[in-house]
Structure formats: structure tokens, C-alpha cells
Chains A and B, each alone.
Chain A
């Protein structure tokens, strides 16, 4: 049951450049999308979210874009910093339906090289 997919297991970028992490979903009932960052031996940390009624949300260096027709979202990090190196998870929710559970993608490991 792969309702949320992150097809790139890893991504490497140079410090200062843009990191683009991608996520695809199949369930058209999803109405809220989130990105989490995770370091080894820690819990996921919430980064940024977007409602399905929007196509862009920005928070500092992080921007999430949503393309509902393509069922695709992406996270842009500009400029990338070495401290951004972590595993990034895309997650989706059907909102208040079914208690708001999150369905996660497999994660993309981002490595930002100095």
C-alpha cells in the first residue's frame, strides 16, 4: 500500500545550492501534506505543511509546492546548509477523517556537502 512515495532514497547537494525533495501520492482524499526531518535515533521533527487548497507555502529557507493535478509535492531548501543533512519524510493526512493519521513516504536522505 504505497499511497505516499518518495522515489529518491538519497540526494546530495553542495552547501548554498538548492535542495529539491520530491513526493508523489495516489489518494485524492488527502487534504493536508507535511514534511518532517529526522536525525538518527530521534523522532521526526515537523518542518512545514500545506493544505490542499494552496499550491505553495513558505517558511524561511523552506518552501513546499503542491501540484494537485499531478498528485505531487516538493520541498525546496534554499540555501542548503550542512545542518540540513538528515532524512526527510513526506506525509499526508485526510484531515479530520479517520483521526488525522499520517501516511509517510519512505524518506529521502539529504546530504549537504560543505
Chain B
């Protein structure tokens, strides 16, 4: 069964450094998302991406964040200058079609630790 994959599984970085989190969504999916979950808190929406552009972003998704789909398979989240409060699990998700059902399928996550 097709799956969303994410790399790396764990990323440790120093405050102020840039990180890129990578995702390979399910191949015939059209919508792509990033969410994060800070330890002990709820899963929070960051950004949605469709047709090679951002369709919505949350207040969390400020100028330090960017997303890209550089080729037909990868979907990346970049944090330009990490802060301690960016430490969280980051989940990529994808959705199969533009209308109809809205189930999103999640990857296993990348644990980002900012020191």
C-alpha cells in the first residue's frame, strides 16, 4: 500500500541554523500539507500546497518557513533560522483528489530538536 515517507526521522540542529525536512507524498495525490506537534500538544496545521503554490498557511508559518515541490515527487519544508520553539514533530500529509473526500494520509514524522 502506498505511503507517505519522510526523511530524516530525527534532525538535531543548533538555533539559527537552516533545516530542510523532506517528504515524498503518495504519487497520485494532489494536495500536500505540513503539520507539527509540539510535545504534549495537539497537531497543528502549518501550510497547504496545491498546484505548485501555497493555498493556505497558518499564523505559525511566518517568513522563516517555506515549502517547495522541486520535482514530481518531493515536498520540502525549510526553516531558515531555527528557534528553540521550533522543536516539534513535523508531519507531512497528502490528499488524493481536489474534490470529494478529504482524508489526508500522514507520514511517520520528523522529530526536530533545536538546541
A-to-B contact residues, CB < 8 Å: 32, 34, 36, 41-46, 49, 89, 91, 93, 95-96, 98-107
User: Within the complex, what minimum Cβ distance (angstroms) separates B41 from chain A?
Assistant: 8
Report the interface size for chain B: residues with CB under 8 A from the other chain: 29
Smallest CB gap from B43: residue in A = A104
Are A96 and B42 in contact (CB-based, < 8 A)? no
Are A49 and B4 in contact (CB-based, < 8 A)? no
User: Within the complex, what minimum Cβ distance (angstroms) separates B95 from chain A?
Assistant: 6
User: Within the complex, what minimum Cβ distance (angstroms) separates B48 from chain A?
Assistant: 3
- 23 inter-chain pairs at a CB distance below 8 angstroms, sorted by A residue, are A32-B101, A32-B102, A34-B103, A41-B108, A42-B109, A43-B91, A43-B106, A45-B106, A46-B103, A46-B104, A49-B102, A89-B43, A91-B43, A98-B48, A98-B56, A99-B50, A100-B31, A101-B45, A101-B48, A102-B45, A103-B45, A106-B42, A107-B42
Report how far A109 CA is from B71 CA in the complex, Å.
38
In the complex where A44-B106, A98-B55 touch, is A49 in contact with B101 (Cβ < 8 A)?
yes
Contact count A vs B, C-beta below 8 Å: 69
Report how far A89 CA is from B93 CA in the complex, Å.
15
Interface 1/0 per residue, B87-105 and A, CB below 8 Å:
0000101010011011111
Are A34 and B107 in contact (CB-based, < 8 A)? no
Q: Which of B6, B31, B103 is close to A49, meaning CB atoms less than 8 Å apart?
A: B103
Chain A positions within 8 Å of B44 at CB level? 104
Q: Which of A43, A46, A96, A107 is close to B108, meaning CB atoms less than 8 Å apart?
A: A43
Interface 1/0 per residue, B27-57 and A, CB below 8 Å:
0000101010000011111001010000110
Are A96 and B106 in contact (CB-based, < 8 A)? no
User: Within the complex, what minimum Cβ distance (angstroms) separates A25 from chain B?
Assistant: 13
Report how far A41 CA is from B107 CA in the complex, Å.
11
